[in-house]
C-alpha cells in the first residue's frame, strides 16, 4: 500500500490527469482490502439458508449447533441439553410400569399346606389267617367225658393228641377257624403225613393250609377230616387219660362223637 502511495505521488508531479487516476485506483484498493472483511464478518453473524449454522460474537470462541439445540462448549463441542419434559414423562411411565409388573415370587402363589395333604385313613388290618375264629373252646369226648388234649402241653412238631381230664388249660383250648383249621397253642390239628388210612395219627404241627389240616365238626357231632372224609376216633374205644386219638372210618359210635364246651 505504501508503495502504491509513493508511485502515485511521483506520477502526480508530471500529470494532473494521471494523479486523479491514481487516486481513483487507491480508493478502489481500499474498498477491496477493507470492505470485504466487513462483509465476511456480517456473514458469520447470520445463517445463510443452511440447517447447520455457526453463531459467533466478536471475541467469542463458542460455537452453537442448531441440530442438537444444545449449548456449545469450548472448541465447538456441543453440550448435551437436559431431557425434555416429555422424555422425562416417558421414562417415568416406563418406570411405573416396571414397578407394577409382578415379581417372580408373586407369579405363582404358594399352595396351602392343606392342599397338598393326602388321605391318611387306612383300611382295617386283615387277620393273620384271613378268617375269623371262635374263642378257644374245649372239645369233649362223648364216650369218656374227657377233653381233647395236647400231650404234655408241648409245642414240638408232630406232638400226638390224647384225651385227658378237662381242666381248661391252654393245651385244651381249641379254636375252630373259618378256614377249616382247628388250632391250639398257635399250631394246627393235623393228620400225620396227610394220610387217608385208618389208624393214621392225629397230631399237632405248624399250620400249612393243606388238606391234612382241614376239619369240620358236623351236626352229628362227628369231627371229620375233609380230605380223607374220615373221623377223629379215640383209639380202641378207650376212655382213660392218655388214650391217643387216630383217623378212622366214621361208624357213628360214641368214641367218635365230640362236642364243644
The model's pLDDT over 62-106, given as tens digits with 9 standing for 90+, comes to 444 444 444 444 444 444 444 444 445 445 554 555 455 545 444
Whole-number pLDDT of residue 167: 94
**Top-ranked range on mean pLDDT: pick from 5-19, 28-42, 59-73, 148-162:** 148-162
Comparing 250 with 60, which gets the higher pLDDT?
A: 250
Whole-number pLDDT of residue 35: 54
Comparing 102 with 194, which gets the higher pLDDT?
A: 194
Whole-number pLDDT of residue 25: 72
Helix, strand, or coil here: 105? Answer: helix
Give the residue from 145, 141, 222, 132 showing the smallest Cα distance to 178: 132
Q: Is the pTM of this model over 0.85?
A: no
Percent of the chain at pLDDT exceeding 90: 48
Question: What span, in angstroms and rounded, lies between the C-alpha atoms of 63 and 82?
Answer: 18
Cα dist. 176→200, 222, 223 in Å?
21, 14, 11
Percent of the chain at pLDDT exceeding 70: 49
Do 227 and 252 form a contact (C-beta atoms < 8 A)?
no
Helix, strand, or coil here: 116? Answer: helix
Helix, strand, or coil here: 43? Answer: helix
Question: What span, in angstroms and rounded, lies between the C-alpha atoms of 225 and 181?
Answer: 10
Region 139-260: CATH code? 2.80.10.50
Q: Please tell me the number of Cα atoms within 13 Å of 91 on its side-chain side.
A: 5
Does the structure show a pLDDT above 90 at 41? no
Comparing 12 with 207, which gets the higher pLDDT?
A: 207
Helix, strand, or coil here: 152? Answer: helix
Whole-number pLDDT of residue 28: 72
Give the residue from 58, 55, 31, 28 showing the smallest Cα distance to 44: 55
Whole-number pLDDT of residue 150: 98
Residue 16 binned pLDDT confidence (cut-offs 50, 70, 90): low
**32-41, 115-124, 239-248, range with the lowest pLDDT:** 115-124
Helix, strand, or coil here: 226? Answer: coil
Does the structure show a pLDDT above 70 at 124? no
Amino acid at each position: 500500500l505504501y508503495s502504491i502511495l509513493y508511485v502515485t505521488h511521483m506520477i502526480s508531479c508530471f500529470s494532473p490527469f494521471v494523479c486523479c487516476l491514481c487516486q481513483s485506483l487507491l480508493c478502489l484498493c481500499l474498498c477491496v482490502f477493507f470492505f470485504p472483511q466487513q462483509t465476511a464478518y456480517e456473514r458469520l453473524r447470520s445463517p445463510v439458508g443452511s440447517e447447520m449454522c455457526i453463531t459467533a460474537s466478536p471475541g467469542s470462541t463458542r460455537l452453537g449447533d442448531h441440530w442438537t439445540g444444545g449449548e456449545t462448549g469450548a472448541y465447538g463441542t456441543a453440550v448435551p441439553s437436559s431431557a425434555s419434559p416429555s422424555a422425562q414423562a416417558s421414562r417415568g411411565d416406563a418406570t411405573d410400569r416396571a414397578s407394577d409388573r409382578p415379581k417372580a415370587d408373586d407369579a405363582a402363589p404358594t399352595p396351602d399346606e392343606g392342599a397338598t395333604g393326602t388321605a391318611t385313613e387306612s383300611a382295617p388290618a386283615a387277620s393273620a389267617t384271613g378268617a375269623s375264629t371262635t374263642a378257644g373252646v374245649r372239645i369233649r369226648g362223648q364216650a369218656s367225658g374227657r377233653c381233647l388234649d395236647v400231650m404234655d402241653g408241648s409245642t414240638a412238631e408232630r406232638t400226638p393228641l390224647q384225651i385227658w381230664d378237662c381242666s381248661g388249660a391252654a393245651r385244651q383250648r381249641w379254636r375252630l377257624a373259618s378256614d377249616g383249621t382247628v388250632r391250639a397253642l398257635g399250631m394246627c390239628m393235623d393228620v400225620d403225613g396227610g394220610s387217608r388210612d385208618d389208624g393214621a395219627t392225629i397230631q399237632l404241627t405248624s399250620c400249612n393250609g393243606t388238606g391234612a389240616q382241614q376239619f369240620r365238626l358236623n351236626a352229628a357231632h362227628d369231627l371229620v377230616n375233609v380230605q380223607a372224609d374220615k373221623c377223629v376216633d379215640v383209639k380202641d374205644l378207650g376212655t382213660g387219660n392218655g388214650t391217643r386219638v387216630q383217623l378212622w372210618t366214621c361208624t357213628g359210635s360214641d368214641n367218635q362223637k365230640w362236642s364243644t364246651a
